[in-house]
């Protein structure tokens, strides 16, 4: 009898991991619906690309502001409880957006309420990310981490693909209220799924020294663990400069002329490519020449975004975003795998918090940067400039982080940087 594929063995042997993937899948769809609909709604009300950047800033400030304390909390308190409280908060945000859509206050009041709701969502997600990452790592043994990273990335990308498409279609073919209702129902269902997922004790959890010193342990660990620092730094600067998702409402409305339905498809396209790549990586995890694969994939991501920036054809733009998602997913899987395999369980929350800061800086601050540069340079020059900077970042990182360039995981799960 032939042995089961690693991914099938993992899913069949660890039911809590299955439940976790489903719960996170539902949360991600909910958040992605919210993101695409709020983006279109704000740009439709203002016509200003800077207003899209301010969405990212409103989310980034609370998200990054609580990151270190969130990592500390995730290594002290039960991670399941933290996730449940955070998803309750996200469900409340979804209900708030639905209420705003139903009441329909004046435009300037609507925009302020949307920004406030996104800020509260950023606060909840700031605590959610380290706790969820650390909780997932407790559900499977270390030798399954490469496969669990690929499956985790794949389900996230499937949700990131479905959410924008669902949000855009509901908004385009029905109305704003329908999109926010779906957002609320999915968040509520995620809360129910997480409630039936088992708790796990935090291994080696202890308080040593001051709270501030303990929170900074994750920063010190990342700083001295060069492959981890290199992986998250590369991802930070590549997405900070190269990411253009915040400006997609501008492309959809003013450049590609494809409406909210087209915006949903544009937002979903990177996740389609990432999902396809996730299936490849789940079957063949990038354990050999890992660092080089990450560097080349980020370089290819930059090239895709450069071409997207100058495209005026909807279908070509869609294809380029799809390819960018596939290449970006290699970076996501390598970063997650590296963190899981090199971080002790008692440090996972604090290290995940540092990762949250880097990801938040690249995504939300990157969105703000996109809005500012688009206001200053124009939308197309801003995207082209950012993509060019991504290519420069890859070249610099390949020399600055030689440990990352030589990173090579073996089947045993050990690291070889020689």
> Each residue of 172-198: pLDDT tens digit?
888 889 999 999 999 999 999 999 887
What pLDDT digit, counting tens, does each position of 249-303 carry?
Answer: 888 888 998 888 888 889 888 878 887 887 787 777 666 677 788 888 889 999 9
Mean pLDDT over each residue of the chain, to the nearest integer: 81
Please report the pLDDT score of residue 89 as a whole number: 95
Q: Looking at the 3D structure of the chain, how many domains does it have? A: 1
**Does the pLDDT value for residue 114 go beyond 90?**
yes
Determine the Cα–Cα distance for residues 171 and 351; give it in Å rounded to an integer. Answer: 38
Asked, for residue 357, whether it belongs to a domain, the answer is: yes
Domain that holds residue 267: 15-199+213-416
Q: How far apart are the first and last CA of the chain?
A: 38
What pLDDT digit, counting tens, does each position of 320-359 carry?
Answer: 999 998 998 888 778 777 777 777 766 766 777 777 777 7
The answer for residues whose C-beta is within 8 angstroms of residue 162's C-beta and 6 or more apart is 29, 32, 268, 271
Determine the Cα–Cα distance for residues 407 and 389; give it in Å rounded to an integer. Answer: 24
Asked, for residue 6, whether it belongs to a domain, the answer is: no
Distances in Å between the alpha carbon of 277 and those of 32, 232, 308?
20, 20, 20
Decide: 235 and 346 in contact? Cβ < 8 Å.
Answer: no
Please report the pLDDT score of residue 373 as a whole number: 85
The answer for residues whose C-beta is within 8 angstroms of residue 74's C-beta and 6 or more apart is 82, 127, 130, 131, 134, 348, 349, 350, 352, 353
In which residue are the tokens 């390949």 written?
398
Asked, for residue 3, whether it belongs to a domain, the answer is: no
> What is the mean pLDDT of the segment spanning 193-215?
67
What pLDDT digit, counting tens, does each position of 119-131 carry?
Answer: 999 999 989 988 8
Asked, for residue 8, whether it belongs to a domain, the answer is: no
**Does the pLDDT value for residue 214 go beyond 70?**
no
**Does the pLDDT value for residue 418 go beyond 70?**
no
What pLDDT digit, counting tens, does each position of 97-109 carry?
Answer: 999 999 888 888 9
Give the chain's length.
418
Please report the pLDDT score of residue 213 as a whole number: 66
Q: Domain with 181 in it: what CATH number?
A: 1.20.1250.20
Asked, for residue 4, whether it belongs to a domain, the answer is: no
Q: Among 159, 164, 93, 86, which residue's Cα sits nearest to residue 125?
A: 86
Asked, for residue 57, whether it belongs to a domain, the answer is: yes
> What is the mean pLDDT of the segment spanning 138-152?
73
Q: Which residues pair with 409 in a beta bridge?
A: 415
**Does the pLDDT value for residue 413 go beyond 50?**
no
The 3-state DSSP class for residue 415 equals strand
Asked, for residue 87, whether it belongs to a domain, the answer is: yes
Please report the pLDDT score of residue 40 as a whole number: 86
Please report the pLDDT score of residue 397 as a whole number: 84
- 138 or 328: which leads in pLDDT: 328
Asked, for residue 162, whether it belongs to a domain, the answer is: yes
The 3-state DSSP class for residue 416 equals strand
Stated pTM of the model = 0.71
- For the ranges 1-10, 337-346, 359-368, 396-405, which has the lowest average pLDDT? 1-10
Q: How confident is the model at residue 115 (pLDDT cuts 50, 70, 90)?
A: very high
CA contacts within 13 A on the Cβ side of 227: 28
């Amino acid at each position: 009898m032939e042995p089961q594929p690693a991914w099938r063995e993992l899913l069949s042997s660890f039911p809590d991991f299955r439940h976790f993937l489903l719960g996170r899948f539902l949360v991600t769809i909910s958040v992605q619906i919210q993101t695409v609909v709020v983006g279109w709604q704000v740009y439709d009300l203002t016509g200003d690309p800077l207003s899209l950047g301010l969405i990212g800033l409103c989310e980034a400030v609370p998200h990054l502001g609580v990151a270190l304390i969130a990592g500390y909390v995730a290594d002290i308190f039960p991670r399941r409880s933290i996730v449940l409280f955070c998803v309750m908060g996200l469900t409340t945000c979804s209900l708030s957006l639905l209420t705003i859509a139903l009441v329909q206050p004046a435009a300037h009041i609507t925009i302020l309420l949307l920004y406030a709701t996104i800020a509260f969502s950023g606060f909840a997600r700031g605590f959610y990310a380290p706790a969820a990452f650390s909780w997932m790592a407790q559900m499977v043994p270390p030798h399954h981490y490469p496969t669990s990273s690929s499956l985790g990335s794949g389900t996230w990308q499937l949700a990131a693909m479905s959410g924008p498409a669902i949000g855009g279609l509901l908004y385009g073919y029905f109305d704003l209220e329908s999109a926010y209702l779906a957002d609320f129902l999915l968040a509520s269902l995620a809360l129910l799924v997480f409630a039936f997922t088992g708790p796990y004790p935090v291994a080696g959890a202890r308080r040593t020294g001051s709270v501030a010193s303990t929170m900074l342990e994750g920063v010190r660990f990342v700083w001295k663990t060069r492959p981890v620092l290199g992986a998250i730094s590369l991802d930070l600067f590549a997405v900070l400069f190269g990411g253009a998702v915040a400006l997609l409402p501008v492309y959809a409305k003013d450049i590609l002329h494809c409406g909210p339905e087209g915006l949903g498809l544009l937002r979903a396209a990177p996740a389609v490519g990432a999902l396809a790549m996730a299936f490849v990586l789940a079957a063949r995890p990038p354990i050999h020449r890992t660092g080089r694969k990450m560097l080349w994939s980020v370089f290819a991501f930059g090239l895709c975004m450069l071409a997207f920036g100058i495209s005026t054809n909807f279908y070509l733009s869609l294809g380029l975003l799809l390819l960018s998602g596939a290449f970006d997913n290699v970076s996501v899987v390598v970063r997650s795998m590296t963190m899981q395999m090199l971080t002790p369980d008692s440090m996972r929350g604090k290290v995940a918090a540092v990762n949250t800061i880097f990801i938040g800086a690249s995504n939300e601050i990157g969105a703000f940067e996109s809005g500012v540069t688009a206001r200053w340079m124009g939308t197309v020059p801003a995207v082209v400039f950012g993509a060019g900077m991504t290519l420069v970042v890859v070249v610099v990182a390949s020399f600055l982080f030689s440990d990352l360039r030589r990173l090579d995981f073996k089947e045993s799960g050990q690291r070889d940087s020689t």
